[in-house]
Amino acid sequence: MAETNTVARSLHDVGLAAWFGGSLMGATGLNGAASEVSDPAQRSRVANAGWNRWTPLNLAAIGSHVVGGAILVAGNRGRLAGQRGVASQSMAKTALTGVALGATAYSRVLGKKIDNAGDVPVAGGTEPSSQTPPEVEQAQKQLKTMQWVIPALTGALLIHNAYMGELQRPQAVASGFASRLFGN
């Protein structure tokens, strides 16, 4: 077995960084930039073209994060079982990841609904206009919220990763194992 988890950590962290960064750039850059297109019927097409190009890379990033995480769990099973607090933090992180995955999938469903509507007039990627059909308007309003939920969730995962890293400091490991052994 490998002495380090460098490859797993790299998969895990780079995947999460891309997931976070791509979602934040999409919310701040891509969706807003679509409003700069002069023809309102083409604005949605521009935003959707960008998201459609990003989706395969985002899927690879998410897959990398999940695979790297699974390898890290397997490689740290001794700490999970023996160091107090590590298993509960790992379960919390898994739950948070599940929520982020669900939010990402739901956003993709909303985006496809808008994409499938074709060239309808909109004010921007997540901004309906007075001529936007009601079903597209509803999807855009939901997507306007979701575009911020995903970076918030993945940002929380990045912060949680930092905390999990602190649990690997030698003094935290020693304290966690001693606490488990002696019931403190």
HSE-CB at 83 with a 13 A cutoff on CA atoms is 20
Range in 92-106, 122-136, 167-181 with the lowest mean pLDDT: 167-181
**Calpha distance 25→92 (Å, rounded):** 26
Encoded tokens for 6: 């460098």
DSSP 76: T
Provide mean pLDDT across the span 165-173.
Answer: 68
Q: What is the pLDDT of residue 85?
A: 80
Instruction: Using a pLDDT cut of 90, give the percent of the chain over it.
Output: 77
Residue 181 pLDDT level (bands cut at 50, 70, 90): low
Closest CA to 22 of 144, 116, 154: 154
Is pLDDT at 2 greater than 60 in this prediction? no
What percent helix, strand, coil does the chain show, rounded to 5?
80, 5, 15
* CB burial string 161-175: b at 16+ within 10 A, e below: beebeebeeeebeeb
Provide mean pLDDT across the span 94-100.
Answer: 98
Q: Which residues contact 158 (CB under 8 A, 6 or more apart)?
A: 16, 17, 20
Say if residues 61 and 25 touch (Cβ distance below 8 Å): no
Closest CA to 114 of 39, 25, 31, 21: 31
Q: What is the pLDDT of residue 86?
A: 86
Provide mean pLDDT across the span 62-90.
Answer: 90
Q: Show me where the domains of the chain are located.
A: 6-179
Mean pLDDT of the chain: 91
Please report where in the chains the tokens 């460098």 appear, as a residue. Answer: 6
Provide mean pLDDT across the span 73-78.
Answer: 89
Is pLDDT at 71 greater than 90 in this prediction? yes
